Amino acid sequence: MASGFFALLDDIATLMDDVAMMSKVAGKKTAGILGDDLAVNAEKASGFMSSRELPVLWAITKGSFLNKLIILPLAFLLSAFLPAAVTVILIIGGLYLAYEGAEKIYEYFFPHAHETDTPKLEKLSEEEILRIEKEKIKSAILTDFILSVEIVIIALGSVTNETLVTQILVVTVIAFIATVGVYGIVALIVRMDEFGAKLIDLNDRKDSISDKIGGFLVRALPKVIKSLSIIGTIALLLVSGGIFVHNIHFMHDLLPGLPGILVELLTGLAVGILMLLIIKSATGVWKKFAH
């Protein structure tokens, strides 16, 4: 009986080793989406009054956990009873990611017309501020749902050849890291300027070390968010390109002389431009018939 107990412990240890190893693999494949998730949520969680930033971020985090609770069981059911659907959803997700990356590049060179006169929070009533806050939270949770689907499916796609137990453990670990890790870093980012302001107010001396560090943190926040957006765009194209290169055979051998990362970037960009043209054309035709 003792030998059976130790054999069970050995099996559990082996399973945990497999889970740890496969989690690293899945983590690398989902890193691009996590980068984009981080950039998007850092942008969505900023712009609130200082006292409301953390409560808003906590509300979004709870929504993200709920998203994972909905997505994970559905993904595992598909993997168990309809595994081909995982690849199909993966390709569809790749098309969406490629389009999103290309659309961000297009928006950079040809920005949409934005309203120049936006109401300031100081001019709004408390009820209006809370209404805008709820709308932003809903928008952030919806965006998180889309990105969570992509993260879970990509993670699941990296362990499709493993046992169902390993799939469940690995993908659950990635989903947990995606929520705790991303929103933990976002909390640090959105409070960076607040921490900088406290350092500036730490003493009355001018040009002190705390003043310099605090001023740097305050000035760095918008640049950090902008940098994350650029990195997230590149990551979107790399992840989407990797999906097509690794799941569509003829794309895998399309550019054999180039480094893999460059092939994935060019593939993601090419597919993204194609999707952008299709969607822009379809939108134009729809608007024409609608009028």
Mean pLDDT of the chain: 75
Highest average pLDDT, of 16-30, 97-111, 153-167, 270-284, comes from: 270-284
**pTM of this structure:** 0.67
Integer Cα distance of 219 and 120 in angstroms: 21
Q: What count of other Cβ atoms lies within 10 Å of the Cβ of residue 288?
A: 8
Q: Residue 209's pLDDT band (boundaries 50, 70, 90)?
A: confident
The amino acid occupying position 124 is L
Integer Cα distance of 262 and 258 in angstroms: 7
The DSSP string of 113-148 is P--S-PPPGGGS-HHHHHHHHHHHHHHHHHHHHHHH
**Weakest-pLDDT range from 36-50, 77-91, 104-118:** 36-50
Ranges of each domain in the chain: 2-286
CB 213 within 8 A of CB 196: yes
Q: Residue 270: what pLDDT?
A: 92
Residue 10 confidence (pLDDT) above 50: no
CB 211 within 8 A of CB 199: yes
The amino acid occupying position 14 is T
Tens of pLDDT along 137-162?
Answer: 887 788 778 778 878 887 877 776 77
**Weakest-pLDDT range from 17-26, 248-257, 267-276:** 17-26
Tens of pLDDT along 17-37?
Answer: 545 555 555 555 555 566 666
CB 229 within 8 A of CB 261: no
To which residue do tokens 């952030």 refer?
Answer: 140
The whole-number average pLDDT for the span 165-178 is: 82
Residue 261 confidence (pLDDT) above 70: yes
Residue 55 confidence (pLDDT) above 90: no
Q: What is the dihedral of CA 21, 24, 29, 33, to 10 degrees?
A: 140
Integer Cα distance of 246 and 250 in angstroms: 10
Q: Residue 46's pLDDT band (boundaries 50, 70, 90)?
A: low
Q: Residue 9: what pLDDT?
A: 38
